[in-house]
Amino acid sequence: MVNVLILRAPGTNCDVETSYAFQRAGADCVDVVHINRLLRFPRLLDDVQVLCVPGGFSFGDDIGAGRIFAVKLRDRLGDIFRTFCDAGKLILGICNGFQVLLKSGLILPEDSAGAAATLTWNNNATYTDKWVHLRVEESGCVFLRGVRELYLPVAHAEGRFVPRGGDVLSRLDSAGQLALKYVDGENPNGSVSGVAGVCDSTGRIFGLMPHPERFLDMFQHPHWTRLVAEGKFERDQNRCNGDGFAIFQNAISYFKK
């Protein structure tokens, strides 16, 4: 059995799409749980193999994208999450969920000098919604196994990855933790080194700014009609998977292999 828990908060708006993605990928059970319920019943995680924090605007992003949600996880559930990770389970954060995982220290734990990196305002200082090409780097990230490139939509205002310094960037790069990058010329937010997704040292905790749950089916491609006209996609292939599907499929197959 592979059970998935989608953790939502006030302002989360991608939980239903993310739940569907895991169901389509073969999860045996997908449960969408409000953060307040998990705070009251943390043992809900005992029988879960995959935890996902989806996109949206948790707590309105009132003091920074994902900040309040991150503090709740770190201060109220820190030990629970560490036990969850130590058990070999998986955690995925998408867009706002990536902000939550990074700012809670789950992906990159803080050291004596503070946080290793953050996600802050886009260089254009505004909300950006577009499709981008992405390159998968050499890493041990479970969610990206067998994937070399992706074409996914981004939709965020605070997605610019900024490390504490060049030494931190080099260390993360050498460790294979900068798992996903925007292809040259398509960096929508000005992220340092074009970073679009980061994994922890085990490869089992992964956060990314693009939305894989928004490209599960080829018909969601912004130019799918052109692909049909060019003979690259047959109309009767209505279950042909989009690029984002592999991320969810990898999570499920990790436990079903």
Per-residue pLDDT of the chain (257 residues; tens, 9 = 90+): 999 999 999 999 999 999 999 999 999 999 999 999 999 999 999 999 999 999 999 999 988 899 999 999 999 998 899 899 999 999 999 999 999 999 999 999 988 888 999 999 999 999 999 999 999 999 999 999 999 999 999 999 999 999 999 999 999 999 999 999 999 889 999 999 999 999 999 999 999 999 999 999 988 999 988 888 887 776 655 558 999 999 999 999 999 87
Structural domains of the chain sorted by starting position, each given as residue range(s) with its CATH number in brackets: 3-256 (3.40.50.880)
Indicate which residue of 52, 158, 199, 213 is catalytic.
213
Indicate which residue of 52, 137, 158, 211 is catalytic.
211
Q: Is 29 a known active-site residue?
A: no
> Closest Cα to residue 151, out of 177, 182, 189?
182
Dist. CA 250–CA 142, nearest whole Å: 7
- CA distances (Å), 196 to each of 32, 48, 81, 134, in order? 26, 27, 24, 8
Q: Is 211 a known active-site residue?
A: yes
Dist. CA 133–CA 184, nearest whole Å: 9
Indicate which residue of 95, 141, 156, 158 is catalytic.
95
Q: Is 95 a known active-site residue?
A: yes
